[in-house]
Structure 1
Amino acid sequence: MPHEQIRAQRSALIATGQLTEGERLPTVRQLAPDLGLAPGTVARAYRELEAAKLIRTRRGAGSRVAALPSEPKHPDPAQLARLAWDFTSAARALGADTEAILTAVREALD
Structure 2
Amino acid sequence: MDLSVDPDSGVSPFEQVRSGIAERINSGALPVGAKLPTVRGLAAEVGIAANTAAKAYRELEQAGLIETRGRAGTFVSAAGDRSAQRAADAAADYARTTHDLGIPPQEALALARAALGLPQS
TM bucket normalised to smaller: 0.5 to 0.7
Superposition map of 1:26-65 within 5 A: 26-65=37-76
Structure 2 residue 107 is matched with structure 1 residue 75 = no
Q: CA deviation at 1:76?
A: 1.9
Q: Name the amino acid aligned to 1:54.
A: L
Q: Name the amino acid aligned to 2:36.
A: L
Contact 2:26 2:84 in 1 (8 A): no
Q: Name the amino acid aligned to 1:62.
A: G
Helix, strand or coil at the partner of 2:68? strand
Pair 41,72 (structure 1): closer, same or farther in 2 beyond 3 Å: same
Whole-angstrom distance in 2 between the partners of 1:43 and 1:71 = 24
Whole-angstrom distance in 2 between the partners of 1:69 and 1:35 = 27
**1:46-85 Cα deviation digits (max 9, x unpaired):** 00000000000121111100112298376224xx97xx95
Structure 2 residue 15 is matched with structure 1 residue 4 = yes
Whole-angstrom distance in 1 between the partners of 2:45 and 2:82 = 31
* Aligned Cα root-mean-square deviation (Å): 3.1
Q: Give me the TM-score of the superposition, normalised by structure 2.
A: 0.60
Equivalences, count: 86
Helix, strand or coil at the partner of 2:71? coil
Whole-angstrom distance in 2 between the partners of 1:7 and 1:39 = 13
> What corresponds to 1:105 in structure 2?
none
Structure 1 gap ranges (5+) = 89-97, 99-110
| Aligned partner of 2:28 among 8, 14, 17 | 17
Structure 2 gap ranges (5+) = 1-11, 95-111
Whole-angstrom distance in 2 between the partners of 1:66 and 1:39 = 22
